[in-house]
A = this chain, B = another copy of it.
Amino acid sequence: MTSFHPIDRRGIREPDPALLSINTATLWESCNLHRAAEAIRRHGIRGIAPWRDRVAEAGLRDAARIVRDNGLVVTGLCRGGMFPAAGRKERRAAIDDNLRAVDEAATLEARCLVIVAGGLPPGSKDLAGARHMVRDGLGEILHYGRSAGVPVAVEPLHPMYCADRACINTLGQALDLCDELDHSASGAVGVAVDVYHVWWDPQLQRQIERAGEKRLLAFHMCDWLVPTRDLLLDRGMMGDGVIDIPQIRGWMEAAGYRGMHEVEILSASHWWKKDPDEVLSTCRIRHQTAS
C-alpha cells in the first residue's frame, strides 16, 4: 500500500525529514519520557510531543531538561480541554487544570497546548450545552495562554468520539470557535489538524484554507485502517491505511503551514507491542514515503 500513491506524482514535495516529530502516545507502553526522548534523538528525529502524564511522571523540571538535553522541539503538549462537567465546581476544576497545563507547556517551551474539548457530562444528552461549556472554558484560558506565550490548539476529534471525548468534531466547527473567541486572529487560539480525525470531511480542504497560517498550529499523522477493530486504539502507521496524507499535508502547506509533522499512533495490539527502535525507524521511512 505504501507506494500506491507516490508522493511525487501530484507535485507535492517530499516532506523535510527535519520536520518529523513523535507524539509519546506512539511509544505508550514501551517508554517513559526519558527513554522516548533518547530514542527519538538517536533516530535523528527533532521533535517530540509529550502527554502530560509522562511529564508528571518525570517531574516538570526534569521533563524540560530531558527535552533540552536531547535537543528536541516540543511540537505540542497533550493535552488540555475536557471542559464539560455536570456541576460548576467540576467545570472550575477543569479550567484550573487547563491553567496548569498552560504553565507546563510554557516551561517545556511547547509550540502549543493541544485541546481535546471533552464530551457529554455523564448522564447528559445536552450536546449544545456541552459545546457552550467548551466555548466558555476556552474563553477562560485564552488570555492566560496568550500572556504565557502558549497558543491553544483546538483539535477537532473524529465524530465517533463526540459522546465521550470531544464534542468539537469538524475543522469548520473548531474555526467557528476560534472566530468567536479571537476574532482578530491574534494567534492565541488555533487548531491542531490530525488526519485521523478529519480525513473524511468533505469540507476539509476549504476549512484548511480558511484557517490559514495563523491558525494552523499543529499537524498530526497516523492512518485509518480497514477494518478498524477498536474505536480508540486501532490506529495505523502512515501508509497502512486509506488516508491520502500527502494530499492533506499539501493543503496545509498551501495554506501556509510550516510547522512539524507529528506522528501520533494509538495502537494497543500492534505498534505498542513493538520495540521502540522498530517503531521509530518505521515512522522515519513512512514519513518520507507515505506522508
Contact = CB atoms under 8 A, between A and B. Distances in A.
Interface of A: 1, 4-5, 120, 123-127, 131, 158-160, 162-164, 167, 169-170, 173, 176, 199-202, 224, 226-228, 231, 241-244
Given A120-B242, A170-B202, A202-B169, A125 B4 contact: yes
A254 to B, nearest CB: 16
A63 to B, nearest CB: 31
8 contacts: A125-B242, A159-B160, A160-B160, A160-B228, A164-B227, A169-B202, A173-B202, A228-B231
Copies held by the complex: 2
A124 B126 CA distance: 38
A159 B4 CA distance: 23
Contact of A226 (B1, B159, B164, B227): B164
Contact of A125 (B5, B125, B167, B170): B5
A127 B163 contact: no
Contacts of A231: 160, 227-228, 231
